Chains A and B, each alone.
Chain A
Amino acid sequence: MNSAILTQSLSKTFGQTLAVDRLGLAVPEGAIYALVGANGAGKTTVIKLLMNIFRPTAGSAQVLGIDSRSLAGKAFNRIGYVSENQDMPEWMTVGALLDYYRAFYPTWDRALEQQLVRQFDLPLQRKLKNLSRGMKMKAAFASSLAYRPPLIVLDEPFSGLDPLVRDELIEGLIERAPETTIFLSSHDLAEIESFSSHIGYLEQGRLLFSEEMSVLSDRFREVTVTLSVPAPLPASLPPTWLQAQTVDCVVRFVHSAHNDSTAAEIAQFFPSARDISLDPMPLRSIFLAVAKAGRLRAPSQHNQPAVKGTAA
């Protein structure tokens, strides 16, 4: 499958600060790819590098087959971009904004525009500066979906929105999903879990993993081992075991490389185990485990992968 977005060792520094560190990312065409990570992880920087708003310090990125550094002008006919932080021409009314943008796009679909206006209940006569944050985002969505772009890039699109608006936007987005690739960043796992097909986790500028959502869910298990007698944790645990801790006869950890032989592998470490349970984890728990594991790493280990994954 072709990649709508492909990066190779993409890096960006601001002065002494390394914001993006040798990012290797592949977003398949047709995917709904969620780039997640804590605040300050570098998600927005990655998106701005992809959109040629920032120039990479090293490495390269291809967006719809175009080098990101050449992305300009007509290339944006095929990209819809919405960001929570984007300055909009607030002096315009919603109607004037749509009228203004319409002339730029040969593929602008007037019927779709009207549908989106109705769907988002947009007040065409009101100026953007007089709209609520949610309404502004709806206007931004409408103006970025109406020309049916093959790639939609969203930077924290749902941040700070009430659940109703969020659902409306997600619904509008999902309707476009069959015909487009969606790449979005978010630090709110709950909002993307329901509709993302792929996920990447960014921490301090580094991509810790990038894979299909189903694979990720299969890979992580919350492990509870019940021992016959209390015992300390073995001195050396596999690096795929995260946040291991023991309380009396119970050992708990997160297994990040679960497969059919996981139970046997665990039994080798804990011969006195009375019971081993492997429970699926919600996305939120997976990321918390990964994030905490990353923060516990020693500085010397910083450049080593915290979790074995299928990062591109």
Chain B
Amino acid sequence: MSQILHIFYKDARRFWGEIFLSVAITAAFAWFYPNTWIGPDHIHGAMGSHSVASYNLQIIGGFLLALVPVSWWLLIVRVVHAETLVGDRQFWLTRPYEWPKLLAAKLLFLLAFLYLPIFIAQCALLAEAGFKPFSFIPGLLFNLLLLTIVLVLPILAVATVTSNFARMTLTLLGVFVGIIALGAVVQRLMPNHFTAIAGASYTTQGAFTLAFCVCAAVVVLQYALRRVWLARALLYGIPALLILASPFAERIQSHHPRIDVNYPVAANPPVQLAFHPLSPSYQTYETWPDTGEVLIHTPLQGTGVAAGTVLVPDAVKLEVEAPNGVHWVSDWQGTAMPKFLAGSQDGDAVVSIPRDRYEQLKSMPLTMHLSVAFSEARETRVTRMPLPSEDFSVSGFGVCSPLAGFLSPFTQATGLLCRSALRDPPLTYIGVVWSDTPCDAPHPEPDQGVQGAAWVGSLDRAPADLDISSVQQVHFTLSNSIYERSNVPRHLCPGSPVTFTEYERVSRTQTSVTIHDFHLPGVKVSDGQTHVFTTTTTTTEAPKQK
């Protein structure tokens, strides 16, 4: 222990300037960042010079946020290079340094001058946002773990395989350029319809785990053995292979039986799906770059969802049978279909189909089996309240503020802006009642106004999301926020009812619908782009349980 402390004190004495800079930046961030949160104070500052000031606050806050990891980079590089692990001339190589103690001293340094300041800063931000920091200790620690995996450990690992600050900087630039180049390659290899499928994105977790293991292995390898070339090969080679392999991993994942395992066919499907050709969305078309794939929109109607339940479509799969015997089955593809609530609900299932397959099938009446994988979530908590005129806390969700829009009078709220601690809030349905007239004008009772709603949050939540700030702004747009007649924002008046309905996943399931005599939409190529038109189809619809 004495050797650890001895090296630690030496580094602390030597790098007091870097420590001061890093702590000062972190403190400035913690002090200033709350100014970027748009709260009730900003109701008065939505226009004119105030909006410019608000914009400047956002810029400065964002700048300080970006400076924090830069200061960490400086701190980590300097302290590691104090006993650099690359080269054969370092004084410490022939002194009685014990590598576990040397590594421990460096980690202690980071604990004292990197982790502790950011931990305190995050607690201060939580307190400033209206949360009790000590209620979020596990989440704060998890956030530090994520920051370690994504920022600290990679910088530490690169520092252990470089000999000085200039080389480290060049290496990081090289890694950055390499990631962009590899990303471009991956982009070309990746299926267009790629979307992480909830509950099955194990490749992401695997990538994080592997990145952590590789960086940790490099650090330990370097401190224990100083095998520079082996460490460099590990550090640069494995992530490059990982990035290059990611499209294939996603393809494997989309074929993987695990999705069918995670989303079993329900005996009593929680929703009855039916083809709904009269849906307005069916008349739309969309353009799509010439990527060799065509998007097929299939309008569906969902009924029979139990009260207090929401069905979140996670993925879709299409199986097509043609009269000439052609049979084609898509992968499971991520979907942006709207959620299904009690009552009747419409939504487009969009499936990507290869262009050549499309050409084979387009002129024939087809039988389509469309499967949809759902997360079924139930209400766990409903919070109803009259809208306060200032910050208000919603248990389990976060802290919200009335928000002014750019076109409204200064004192009128035209939306809500919420903040959550450490992560996305749970999947929540927010309902409000709009007023068409300004709040200070005589108008009917608030609850007789126009309904507004928004979905925010997610069902899949870790203890914390990766972020330097411990407070996240929850962005959402409430429906019906514009008064159509005059095209001006509606108002949220103090005292009008606001409802937060929180949902929690209870199961995953899949259901399907069979559509007969379906004709694929027509396509024409124009100006280098493929235009996909939906088409009229005579159909018979048959909700089917798979």
Interface residues of A (CB under 8 A from B): 48, 51-54, 72-77, 79, 81, 83, 85-89, 91, 100-101, 103-105, 153
Q: Which residues of B contact A54 (CB under 8 A)?
A: 88
Whether B507 is near chain A, meaning CB under 8 Å from some CB there, is no
- What is the CB-to-nearest-CB distance from B9 to chain A, in angstroms, rounded to a whole number? 9
- What is the CB-to-nearest-CB distance from B11 to chain A, in angstroms, rounded to a whole number? 11
Whether B268 is near chain A, meaning CB under 8 Å from some CB there, is no
Sample of 13 A–B contacts (CB below 8 Å): A48-B88, A53-B88, A72-B97, A72-B98, A72-B99, A73-B99, A77-B96, A86-B91, A87-B87, A87-B89, A89-B91, A100-B10, A101-B95
Beta-carbon contacts under 8 Å, B228-243 to A: none
Asked, given contacts A100-B10, A103-B2, A103-B6, whether A88 binds B91 with beta carbons under 8 Å apart, the answer is yes
Are the CB atoms of B90 and A87 closer together than 8 Å? yes
Of the residues B10, B87, B94, B97, contact of A81 by C-beta under 8 Å: B94
Q: Which of B3, B14, B94, B98 has the most CB of A within 10 A?
A: B94
Are the CB atoms of B96 and A73 closer together than 8 Å? yes
How far is A241 from B6 in the complex, measured between Cα atoms in Å?
A: 59
Are the CB atoms of B90 and A74 closer together than 8 Å? no
Asked, given contacts A87-B89, A91-B14, whether A104 binds B96 with beta carbons under 8 Å apart, the answer is yes
Are the CB atoms of A73 and B97 closer together than 8 Å? yes
Are the CB atoms of B93 and A53 closer together than 8 Å? yes
Given contacts A53-B88, A89-B91, A100-B6, 20 further A-B contacts (CB under 8 A): A51-B93, A53-B94, A72-B97, A72-B98, A73-B96, A75-B96, A76-B94, A76-B96, A76-B97, A77-B96, A81-B94, A85-B89, A86-B89, A87-B90, A87-B91, A89-B82, A101-B95, A103-B6, A104-B6, A104-B95
Are the CB atoms of A73 and B94 closer together than 8 Å? no
Q: Which of B10, B14, B91, B97 has the most CB of A within 10 A?
A: B91
How far is A105 from B95 in the complex, measured between Cα atoms in Å?
A: 9
How far is A54 from B87 in the complex, measured between Cα atoms in Å?
A: 10
Instruction: Report how many residues on chain B are interfacial, defined by Cβ distance under 8 Å.
Output: 18
How far is A91 from B17 in the complex, measured between Cα atoms in Å?
A: 13
How far is A101 from B91 in the complex, measured between Cα atoms in Å?
A: 11
How far is A51 from B89 in the complex, measured between Cα atoms in Å?
A: 11
Chain A: which residue is nearest B5 at the CB level?
Answer: A103
Are the CB atoms of B94 and A51 closer together than 8 Å? yes
Q: Which residues of B contact A51 (CB under 8 A)?
A: 93-94
Q: Which of B95, B98, B99 has the most CB of A within 10 A?
A: B95
Are the CB atoms of A76 and B89 closer together than 8 Å? no
Query: Hey, what's the 0/1 contact readout for B95-115 against A, CB within 8 Å counting as 1?
Result: 111110000000000000000
Q: Which residues of B contact A89 (CB under 8 A)?
A: 82, 91
Q: Which residues of B contact A88 (CB under 8 A)?
A: 91
Beta-carbon contacts under 8 Å, B1-54 to A: 2-3, 6, 10, 14
Q: Which residues of A contact B99 (CB under 8 A)?
A: 72-73
- What is the CB-to-nearest-CB distance from B291 to chain A, in angstroms, rounded to a whole number? 47
Q: Which residues of A contact B95 (CB under 8 A)?
A: 76, 101, 104
Q: Which residues of B contact A103 (CB under 8 A)?
A: 2-3, 6
Chain B: which residue is nearest A79 at the CB level?
Answer: B94
Q: Which residues of A contact B10 (CB under 8 A)?
A: 100
Are the CB atoms of A104 and B3 closer together than 8 Å? yes
Q: Which residues of B contact A75 (CB under 8 A)?
A: 96
Q: Which residues of B contact A48 (CB under 8 A)?
A: 88
Q: Which 10 A-B pairs have the closest CB atoms?
A: A81-B94, A73-B98, A76-B96, A87-B89, A53-B88, A104-B96, A103-B6, A77-B96, A88-B91, A51-B94
How far is A153 from B90 in the complex, measured between Cα atoms in Å?
A: 15
Chain A: which residue is nearest B84 at the CB level?
Answer: A87
Q: Which residues of B contact A105 (CB under 8 A)?
A: 96
